[in-house]
Amino acid sequence: MPIKITEEEWIPAQEKFESGEDYRSFTDARASRKRARQIEENGLEEEEEVDEHEMMRLRKAQRPTYKQVVGKASGRAWKLPAERASMVMKPATSRGIKTWDQRMKEKAEKKAFQAMKQEAADAARAKRKEEHERRAKKKQQKEENRQRTGEGLYKPEITNARTIAKRAKSKEFKKQKALKMV
């Protein structure tokens, strides 16, 4: 299956959720039994008086320093994941992050290189095998020729006087004569 590389960046399928009512920020929940009993006994209103410290805390809590997204059932705001300064300062290319197209291109180049390497190794192996076969054939032919002519099967008798005299003077010949090998 060939890989089709396009210049457009890949975007996943987008979905719209239309499931009806959105209850994520719904705050008019029924009070618990214990809280309802306290309201009945003490006659406390929903909006109680709050001391000064509590007001300060509530005011601070309503203005968070981070960008928030509403969506928790408990009322807690979502906190977006922060990026590190190094990620913001450096571009993606210098951090070693590659696009899909770049990775596919590198993969194709690597595959082509491996194929060339394998081809070269096969060619070298074939050449070595051919040379081995050629040498074996030459050796076999030489042996057949020697058998056919009879060359090398016997030692010729030395008749030259100078050669005989030289051999007689040599230490090896004297040793052989002493051991009665000649």
Query: Is the CB of residue 31 less than 8 Å from the CB of residue 39?
Result: yes
Tens-digit pLDDT string for the chain (182 aa): 556 677 788 777 776 767 666 666 665 556 677 877 877 787 755 555 557 777 766 665 555 555 555 556 666 666 666 777 777 777 777 777 888 999 999 999 999 999 999 999 999 999 999 999 999 999 999 999 888 887 777 777 888 888 888 877 888 878 888 887 65
pTM: 0.34
Domain ranges of the chain: 100-149
Q: CA angle at residue 61 from 56 to 66, to 5 degrees?
A: 140
Determine the 3-state secondary structure of 129 from DSSP: helix
- Give the pLDDT confidence score for residue 68 in this predicted structure: 56
| Amino acid, res. 66 | Y
| Amino acid, res. 122 | D
Choose among 41, 58, 62, 61: nearest CA to 49.
58
